[in-house]
Amino acid sequence: MTKKLYLFVFMFFALFANAQETEMADTFRSEGKIYIVITVLGIVFTCIIGVLIFLERKLSRLEKEIKEKN
pTM across the whole model: 0.57
Range of the structural domain that residue 60 is part of: 32-70
Amino acid 26 reads D
Q: What whole-number distance in Å separates Cα of residue 62 and Cα of residue 69?
A: 11
The 10s digit of each residue's pLDDT in 29-46 is 788 888 888 999 999 999
pLDDT for the residue 6: 76
Burial class for 28, CB neighbours closer than 10 Å (0-12, 13-18, 19+)? middle
Q: What whole-number distance in Å separates Cα of residue 61 and Cα of residue 50?
A: 17
Q: Count the domains in the chain.
A: 1
pLDDT (mean) for 50-66: 96
pLDDT for the residue 11: 77
Contacts (Cβ under 8 Å, ≥6 apart) of 28? 34, 37
**17 falls in which pLDDT band (50, 70, 90)?**
low
Task: Look at residue 23 and tell me if it is in a domain.
Answer: no
Least confident of 4-8, 15-19, 26-30: 15-19
